[in-house]
């Protein structure tokens, strides 16, 4: 009975205490949950504080590295013009398509559409992307006109990007191709003026900070880091009109005389500026396939030749400078040949006894030899060097300055040097030497740029006494007189002084009697000289190959046109 009472009391206590215990347990769990949440919030707040305060700079930098990029702001290369501002080389805006192969994810249909607009097929595109999958930058196509790139951007393909670039175009075409040169696909100078003045012509790209998505697609510009600066414009000294006339005349000569090549260089005597520098055949610089051909050579500076009889005025200057000869000094050339050891020097005819002036007018090798044997060869070669023969003209890329020989102890070799064999020059050197004679002995540096700070030049200097130069000029006038070998160089209304030259070409077995170069070098007018020019016709057909017959008429035509274009009054 007592046990029952205890059991009943115990049960009653459990009934009364249980609700309070349940409440306590619930409150404990709630407190535990609240405590856990409080601790979690404290830890989260601490972590946020740590990230925003202690690691802010690092995380900001890392975040921007994944979403903010610094990209280039392209600008254009400097323009090249002629002396009057006619464009010879300009940069036109083009666009290039590029991707990041690591991020690119296109569907089969998208790849097919993209390949079609790129001018290829889907399989080739897939193979190319697979081959470069480790790269983060890959050009798909460069140099697209904007209207073509718009067709690609219209597809809105994720990860396919467009970059603005510039492509070089040459309005001067074949008329200035060899002189101006060209650039590569990255718009860097590779030849000619483009290469020589690459640093000045090249632009400095700007930089800006842009926001991109995870695929590399541009979202917006953030700020400019640096401003772009276009390349410096360059005005050349040449006249495009005269270049065109010169090339046309040379091309006609190639056809008429079945010649291999032809070159013309024209200088302004008063300041050394190059007015025309052209070779035929030429090429189209806008056609990539024509750039690596022999026609791309600037023969006026790159090709060396033996000057032949065109060197004789400088030989005569050396004779006059020795003090042993005057214009009326008589030279006996009878019987039209002279034996020097086992060699024979010949004239085309027996000129008999003639004056020093007539020796040059009749281009007598016998007369020249007899004159020069009285002068030490070092003195003659020194005079050649003073006139700029055998030295660099302009440090032009690919320029070949030729070679002056060492003095020879053999009289025959010395004689050949005196009438233009055994030494080499380029056409521009020869034109510069004649310009120095026209200037009455004052040598001017060659100038290719109208921008004075861009020219590689030295101040004018006297290299020959003025009166001696006057005497040589008087001799050269005789050459272009009605009875001279250069009479076809005559320009109506103007006096011309000059010299013809006909050179045998060196072959595998020595000088080839059936291959020649025809030359004429001179200047016009005589009293107030304006232009000096050299014309070279390489290997015309053997029925007509003399310099006076082939090269002199081209001089008259081109220089005559230049005198009209520049409004030079007649003598």
Catalytic residues: 309
- Look up tokens 């501002």; give the residue: 85
DSSP 322-363: TTS--TT-EEE-TTSEEEETTEEEE-SS---EEEHHHHHHTT
Q: How many CA atoms lie within 13 A of 242 on its CB side?
A: 28
For 3, counting Cβ atoms within 10 Å of its Cβ (0-12 exposed, 13-18 middle, 19+ buried), the class is exposed
Is residue 427 within 8 A of residue 305, CB to CB? The reply is: yes
Is residue 517 within 8 A of residue 502, CB to CB? The reply is: yes
Beta strands in 66-150 (DSSP E): 68-73, 80-81, 87-99, 138-144
Alpha-carbon dihedral 108, 112, 118, 123, rounded to 10 degrees: 80
Q: CA-CA distance, 501 to 485, in Å (whole number)?
A: 9
Q: CA-CA distance, 388 to 429, in Å (whole number)?
A: 6
**377-311-495 Cα angle (round to 5):** 140
């Amino acid at each position: 009975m007592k046990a029952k009472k205890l059991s009943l009391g115990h049960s009653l206590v459990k009934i009364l205490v249980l609700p309070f215990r349940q409440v306590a347990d619930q409150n404990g769990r709630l407190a535990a949950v609240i405590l856990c949440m409080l601790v979690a919030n404290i830890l989260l707040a601490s972590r946020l504080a740590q990230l925003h305060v202690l690691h802010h700079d690092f995380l900001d930098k890392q975040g921007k590295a994944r979403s903010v990029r610094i990209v280039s702001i392209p600008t254009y290369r400097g323009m090249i013009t002629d002396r009057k501002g006619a464009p010879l080389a300009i940069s036109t805006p083009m666009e290039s398509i590029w991707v990041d192969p690591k991020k690119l994810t296109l569907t089969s249909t998208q790849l097919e559409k993209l390949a079609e607009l790129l001018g290829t097929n889907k399989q080739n595109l897939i193979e190319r992307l697979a081959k470069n999958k480790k790269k983060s930058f890959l050009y798909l196509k460069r140099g697209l006109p904007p209207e073509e790139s718009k067709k690609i951007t219209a597809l809105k393909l994720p990860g396919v990007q467009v970059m603005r670039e510039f492509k070089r175009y040459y309005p001067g075409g074949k008329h200035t191709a060899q002189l101006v040169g060209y650039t590569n696909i990255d718009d860097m100078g590779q030849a000619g003026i483009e290469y020589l003045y690459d640093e000045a012509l090249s632009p400095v790209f700007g930089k800006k900070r842009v926001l991109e998505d995870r695929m590399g697609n541009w979202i917006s510009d953030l700020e400019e880091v640096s401003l772009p600066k276009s390349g410096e414009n360059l005005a050349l000294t040449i006249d495009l009109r005269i270049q065109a006339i010169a090339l046309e005349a040379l091309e006609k000569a190639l056809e008429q005389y079945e010649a291999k090549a032809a070159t013309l260089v024209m200088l302004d005597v008063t300041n050394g500026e190059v007015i025309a520098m052209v070779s035929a055949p030429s090429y189209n610089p806008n056609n990539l396939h024509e750039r690596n051909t022999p026609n791309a050579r600037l023969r006026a500076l790159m090709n060396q030749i033996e000057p032949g009889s065109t060197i004789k005025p400088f030989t005569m200057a050396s004779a006059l400078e020795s003090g042993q000869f005057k214009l009326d000094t008589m030279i006996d050339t009878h019987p039209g040949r002279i034996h020097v050891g086992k060699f024979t020097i010949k004239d085309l005819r027996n000129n008999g006894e003639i004056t020093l002036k007539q020796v040059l007018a009749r281009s007598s090798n016998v007369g020249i030899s007899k004159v020069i044997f009285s002068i030490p060869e070092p003195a003659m070669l020194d005079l050649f060097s003073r006139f700029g023969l055998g030295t660099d003209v302009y440090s032009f890329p690919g320029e070949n300055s030729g070679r002056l020989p060492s003095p020879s102890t053999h009289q025959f070799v010395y004689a050949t040097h005196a009438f233009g064999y055994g030494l080499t020059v380029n056409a521009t050197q020869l034109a510069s030497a004649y310009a120095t004679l026209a200037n009455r002995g004052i040598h001017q540096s060659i100038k290719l740029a109208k921008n004075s700070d861009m020219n590689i030049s030295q101040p004018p200097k006297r290299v020959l006494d003025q009166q001696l130069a006057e005497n040589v000029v008087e001799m050269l006038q005789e050459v272009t007189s009605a009875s001279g070998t250069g009479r076809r160089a005559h320009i109506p209304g103007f006096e011309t002084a000059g010299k013809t030259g006909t050179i045998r070409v060196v072959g595998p077995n020595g000088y080839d009697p059936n291959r020649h170069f025809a030359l004429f070098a001179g200047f016009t007018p005589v009293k107030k000289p304006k232009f000096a020019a050299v014309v070279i016709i390489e290997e015309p057909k053997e029925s007509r190959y003399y310099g006076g017959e082939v090269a002199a008429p081209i001089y008259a035509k081109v220089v005559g046109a230049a005198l009209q274009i520049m409004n030079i009054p007649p003598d």
